[in-house]
Amino acid sequence: MAKPTMSDVATRAGVDVSTVSRALNPKTAGMLRTETVERVVGAARALGYRPNALARGLRTQRSHTVGMLIPDLTNPFFPPIVRGVEDALETADYTLIVANTDNDPRREERSLQTLIARQVDGLLIATSHVDGDEEEPFDLSLPVVLVNRRSGRAHPSIVPDDSQGVALVVEHLLGLGHRHVGHIAGPADTSTGRTRATAFSEQATKAGVFDPRCVQTAPLFAVEEGRQACDELLERCPELTAIFAANDLLAVGCLRAVRARGLRVPDDISLVGFNDMPLVDLLDPPLTTVRVPQYDMGFQAGQLLLARLATPAVSAAPAAVELPGSLIVRRSTAAPA
Amino acid sequence: MAKPTMSDVATRAGVDVSTVSRALNPKTAGMLRTETVERVVGAARALGYRPNALARGLRTQRSHTVGMLIPDLTNPFFPPIVRGVEDALETADYTLIVANTDNDPRREERSLQTLIARQVDGLLIATSHVDGDEEEPFDLSLPVVLVNRRSGRAHPSIVPDDSQGVALVVEHLLGLGHRHVGHIAGPADTSTGRTRATAFSEQATKAGVFDPRCVQTAPLFAVEEGRQACDELLERCPELTAIFAANDLLAVGCLRAVRARGLRVPDDISLVGFNDMPLVDLLDPPLTTVRVPQYDMGFQAGQLLLARLATPAVSAAPAAVELPGSLIVRRSTAAPA
DNA sequence: CTGAAAGCGCTTACAG
DNA sequence: CTGAAAGCGCTTACAG
């Protein structure tokens, strides 16, 4: 037999398919005689019966599936988050479908349509695209949880506490004696980029070390963009002794730009990243950075979504949970010469 | 209206739902009058109708979904492969569901059951667990393609050409003048680990530089395991001037072990990895390694699976496609002192 | 060219 | 405690 169905099991056990359904569902097995349940379970096992989740989903109007939108799996920042989400969902037997959007609105829209067609019960959004101005594109009467992205509207979100992380960085650099600190900001259409840039300017201003000229925005969170931005920054602000990059990829690019100018890290320029990506501890020099609890973010986001899925009465005000980071001091920072 | 169905569209367009189905399917729209098609399409758009993939899948017995088993998304080796698979599947509107198994047979079995329950049309297996001895666990009348894992049985596979990659390494090291080359082998229950170890011993033997004592097997493809294995290797074979690690993670661990002994790379020990993981070009020193075409492997695996899905007549003998790697020479290798 | 009917594999009121 | 029926949203022979 190719794929035994419930009715095959029913035939073999000599009962109705509704009885099979009840026997195989822990929630309803109680209404049956133990003997019946045993007979059905035995028949199911003998046939190698596997429930059809599609059929069940169609009938119950719940696919037990959740969709997740991320920019790019290939960006090392995301895998730990996705893993956290999966591990959280697994506890409730939900399946995750992740879609890469490359932060392309067209792809994002397509992915969203695909997920909706697949009847996902909820959505996790980790794309960094900011859509505050446009009409809210995710008003699809589906529970949504934002990850690593601030809520413009009515969705709860799990984000790193960027402001706290930036404070750690500024404090560290000031403590080392730096007075000229530049910033490679992340893309302006990115909540993460903006939040970190804002936090930096506020805190650096408060500390009296802020020079608005010494901030350069990278158009993408990527190595090459970081290199270019940093190159321009160094050109414009040769007095800098320290640079805070809005993420590790940018910092790596910055490292290259610094070297290309014949300068050394940390001797001439101290460098700080953000995220603590895998392997940045093995760079030359090992990168000082802010560790973001990626896995935890994913796990908590998954749990939050599960909670919303369980309680249709979504009365709770959409919260923005901020998870604190920690400064990992390595050898890319030192006192200024 | 919460979620318009085909019958809502039918009502609005004043036709039967079967007509809606035909009008919305490019393959069958031709049998309808253009005017009818237009009316239906208009109604569908007006209502914001989205087809229900679950219902369609139940009816057509094709979920248009593919499952993929990988050990751990958090291992940087896999994201590019997964991305390649997704990009290939996307061209045919297939959705990918990936499951992490941590190489735990129990998890693997659970994931497999989940995927089957979700009615995946095919399966990509990238878990490294070797199951040659056990009964073939993937004999599930489903098209299967193996990725980065050699076929023990009847499934086609896309793998890196390890033997060719190892040849590149041995040649490079010999060319530099090394005569004492050790090997940190990958887990023995891993086809990748075994293949590379075998290739190394054969080729090193042929070159007259093989010492069977100077091979240490790591129980896991991980940094810490690499460190330990390398430490034992160095203890046993102090004469080594070069070490080939079966993958980059192991090489990174090896780097640590070498340093812990007060030795330098490449001055005292040359080190070569395998895979060219992201960021290993930024290590200290940048790692010489073999680049494996991960994305391409994924993409080709996806295409192969698609082909098998399209042609039920799976007559073609299961092929093992070997994709060649390339040696990326960086600064972790040098002539022996 | 289009409609009516059956059915994919389940679950769940409704009876008894 | 269990069966029979209806229906989830589609597709697809079968008629006409």
Measured CA to C1', the nucleotide nearest B25 is D11
Interval B213-261: pLDDT, tens: 999 999 998 889 999 999 999 999 999 999 999 999 999 999 999 999 9
CB pair distance less than 8 Å for B95 and A97: yes
pLDDT for B138 = 47
**Which among B187, B255, B258 is positioned nearest to B221, based on CA atoms?**
B187
pLDDT for A151 = 67
Contacts of B282 in chain A (CB under 8 A): 252, 255, 279, 283-284
Question: Would you say the C-beta of B15 is within 7 Å of strand C?
Answer: yes
Question: Would you say the C-beta of B53 is within 7 Å of strand D?
Answer: no
Interval B114-153: pLDDT, tens: 999 999 999 999 986 544 433 344 446 789 999 988 765 6
Q: What average pLDDT does the segment A274-294 reach? A: 89
Name the more confident of B269 and A156: B269
Residue B200, Cα to own-chain centre: how many angstroms?
Answer: 22
Pick from A58, A79, A255: which is nearest to B54 by CB? A58
Min Cα distance B148 → chain A (Å) is: 18
Distance CA A298, CA A303 (A): 9
Tell me which residues from 174 to 213 on chain B have a beta carbon below 7 angstroms from nucleic acid strand C: none
User: Which residue in A has a C-alpha nearest to residue B141's C-alpha?
Assistant: A2
Interatomic separation, CA of residue A71 and C1' of nucleotide D7, rounded (Å): 39
Distance CA A132, CA A151 (A): 9
Regions in chain B scoring below 70 on pLDDT: 1, 128-140, 151-153, 312-318
Tell me which residues from 54 to 73 on chain A have a beta carbon below 7 angstroms from nucleic acid strand C: 55-56, 58-60
pLDDT for A133 = 36
User: Which residue in A has a C-alpha nearest to residue B55's C-alpha?
Assistant: A58
Measured CA to C1', the nucleotide nearest B13 is C2
User: Which residue in A has a C-alpha nearest to residue B71's C-alpha?
Assistant: A83
**Which among B253, B259, B268, B285 is positioned nearest to B337, based on CA atoms?**
B268
Residue A108, Cα to own-chain centre: how many angstroms?
Answer: 15
- Is the distance from CB of A86 to CB of B100 less than 8 angstroms? yes
Residues of chain B whose C-beta is under 8 A from some C-beta in A? 2, 50-55, 57-58, 63, 65, 72-74, 76, 79-80, 82-83, 86, 93, 95-100, 113-114, 116-119, 141, 252, 255, 277-280, 282-286
Distance CA A69, CA A146 (A): 10
Contacts of A50 in chain B (CB under 8 A): 113, 116-117
pLDDT for B283 = 79
pLDDT band at A336 (very low <50, low <70, confident <90, very high): very high
CB pair distance less than 8 Å for B98 and A98: yes
pLDDT for B122 = 94
Interatomic separation, CA of residue B42 and C1' of nucleotide C1, rounded (Å): 19
Q: What average pLDDT does the segment A257-284 reach? A: 91
Min Cα distance B146 → chain A (Å) is: 21
- Residue A80 DSSP one-character state: H
pLDDT for A132 = 44
Pick from A51, A54, A277: which is nearest to B58 by CB? A54
Residue B176, Cα to own-chain centre: how many angstroms?
Answer: 32
How many A/B residue pairs have CB atoms within 8 Å? 111
pLDDT band at A134 (very low <50, low <70, confident <90, very high): very low
Question: φ and ψ at B96, to 5 degrees?
Answer: -105, 135
Name the more confident of B140 and A13: A13
Interatomic separation, CA of residue A322 and C1' of nucleotide D15, rounded (Å): 64
Residue A174, Cα to own-chain centre: how many angstroms?
Answer: 30
CB pair distance less than 8 Å for A95 and B97: yes
Helix B34-47 × helix B17-24 angle, to 10°: 90
- pTM as predicted: 0.86
Contacts of A250 in chain B (CB under 8 A): none
- CA neighbours closer than 13 Å in the CB half-sphere of residue A251: 32
Which positions on chain C have an atom < 7 Å from some protein CB?
A: 1-5, 7-13
pLDDT for A315 = 54
Residues of chain A whose C-beta is under 8 A from some C-beta in B? 2, 50-55, 57-58, 63, 65, 72-74, 76, 79-80, 82-83, 86, 93, 95-98, 100, 113-114, 116-119, 141, 252, 255, 277-280, 282-286
- Residue B2 DSSP one-character state: -
Interval A89-108: pLDDT, tens: 999 999 999 999 988 888 99
Q: How would you classify residue A277: left for phi > 0, otherwise alpha for psi between -120 and 50, otherwise beta?
A: beta
Q: What average pLDDT does the segment A4-25 reach? A: 92
**Which among B276, B279, B282, B283 is positioned nearest to B328, based on CA atoms?**
B276
- Is the distance from CB of B260 to CB of B297 less than 8 angstroms? no
CB pair distance less than 8 Å for A83 and B63: no
- Is the distance from CB of A66 to CB of A83 less than 8 angstroms? no
